[in-house]
Structure 1
Amino acid sequence: MTFTTRLLARLCFWTRVDAPERLDKSIEIEALVRAHGDWLALLATILEREHVIGGEELARGLREFATHTAADRPAEGRILSFWAAYLQDTSVTLRDLPSLH
């Protein structure tokens, strides 16, 4: 089971919805989590392009923030950790692509 699948399963459990509704909820939550990850990756790309902060550095900072957040709010910490990993993956992928400008 992937991290994303486990995260979505936990989010569905926390919503305490019935089984038929749970599937609809999990699809909505998955779309929400992915959409936030996508816009965060886009923002990180722009910040790196403008030489404000590198993507890997931003991912490290978010991972640290996730660790501190998880101490008081575990669910939020897991989501932030997911996004930090997503940013790290995006940063590595973009680093290996040739620049277009």
Structure 2
Amino acid sequence: MNTTNLISIEQFCTHYNVPVTFITALHEYELVEITIADSENYLQTNQLNDVEKMIRLHYELDINLEGIDAIYNLLKQVENLKSQIRTLKNKLNSYEDL
């Protein structure tokens, strides 16, 4: 399997000095997706920014995993609402141009 857009969870956890169980717990809360290739677990590189934020929330701000789950679900809702607003503004602008 091509692993160019993947990073080993072991390598990631070593670099950030976090236990592998933290990433596993994030996966159980469906906050990250783990890819298995060649009998090793990987994170997708497009998830790294979010995982770094989750690490800071948990280890620097002492927010538990349930709190992180709530925060990220709310952030997803905000992004969806922003997208809907953008779409509605574009539709409104097209009617105003008539």
Same fold (TM over 0.5): no
TM-score range, shorter chain: 0.3 to 0.5
TM-score in terms of structure 1 length:
0.39
Larger radius of gyration: 2
Question: When you count strand as a share of all residues, which structure comes out higher?
Answer: 2
TM-score in terms of structure 2 length:
0.40
